[in-house]
Homo-oligomer: A and B are copies of this chain.
């Protein structure tokens, strides 16, 4: 792991990261029992600083944008990178919203008493140190740093190179907030280097970083999941399925299918594959396709569906495993709920699946047997979102089954410990 890539005159990555890690652990020890009001004070002061320094943030962002244009980066990336007064205000408001959330630390999750009189409580604690590795959206600096802080964790942020000036300007505001509340500045650190070796180092900092959250495209998440020896909260992709059972109410199914696919095609909760019960093909397929095609969706279907609706393009095997994040949909006929469950087991990504049905037995089977983070009945997969779940802000959605599954909000950024209260008990 030793490297001698110089950053300044005589600081190599290992020395730098060791210092950052030690500072984060020290800060985490303080944050772990920082009063709620101090953390909230820091968040509110940071929001004020963002409003007050909006001009400086915009200026830094203009430099980032100019550099990105000079490098001919894509329009989509430029859009993600660009800050506007409205986006800056949304960032400030986001900090205030997080300040308004309930502090999860200290919550008694469970409590019981043993026959010997020992009183046991399971109490929420912070996780410790959280590493966030993200790409071009500068708002992640504020959102992720604030969520970690609210849950009593220290954050180590590593943003995208293209956004580094914007991130730095936003981070300065977070530091102002921490200072105003008397909390350690190392509570939210932004890596002072864009050296990719620092990312590799972060991924191996077991014992220092408790969890890594990658925020960005599939290639970033893939690298993090592959290389990290630290636990990761992430989803690689959201190949979300909607299954239309023969018992589905057609009007409801039409409404939900269009929303699940077309409301926003680029989000991880967007439907990518529509599974239609073979027993519903004659009645449901054409009306469903009418709406989707009218909404501008390209449909790729299996032969059973194409035999009924000639407008559909042929699907290849690869379509069942593709997250389009675009106005394209794969459609397949399946043998009832069992066929849907089987298809999802083989091709799903464990993110979000929805059954549209009125038959209670089919619904119960789908909700029980589909092993995804979120399973829905008669609802749009686009609701797969921490905010829509009522969790407040989320740092992402996890498809892992360990610790955090589904939307990752402040509560999911905590651990717990047991507090055992006795009056002199010894074990026989």
Contacts and interface: CB of A to CB of B under 8 A. Distances in A.
A390 interface: yes
Contacts of A348: none
Interface residues of A, number: 60
A383 B428 CA distance: 10
A291 interface: no
Give the copy number.
2
B422 A376 contact: yes
A390 B423 contact: no
A222 interface: no
Given A376-B420, A418-B375, A390 B127 contact: no
A419 interface: yes
A421 B378 contact: yes
Contacts of A118: 379, 383, 388
Interface of A is mostly: mixed
Nearest to A125: B371
A71 interface: no
A401 interface: yes
B211 A424 contact: no
A127 B401 CA distance: 6
B421 A379 contact: yes
A179 interface: no
23 contacts: A32-B371, A112-B390, A114-B389, A114-B390, A118-B383, A128-B371, A231-B231, A255-B426, A256-B424, A375-B417, A376-B419, A376-B421, A376-B422, A377-B422, A378-B421, A378-B425, A380-B422, A382-B426, A383-B420, A383-B422, A402-B415, A405-B415, A405-B416
A369 B33 CA distance: 7
A189 interface: no
A372 B415 CA distance: 11
Closest 4 pairs between A and B when the two form their complex, measured CB to CB = A379-B422, A259-B426, A401-B415, A382-B427
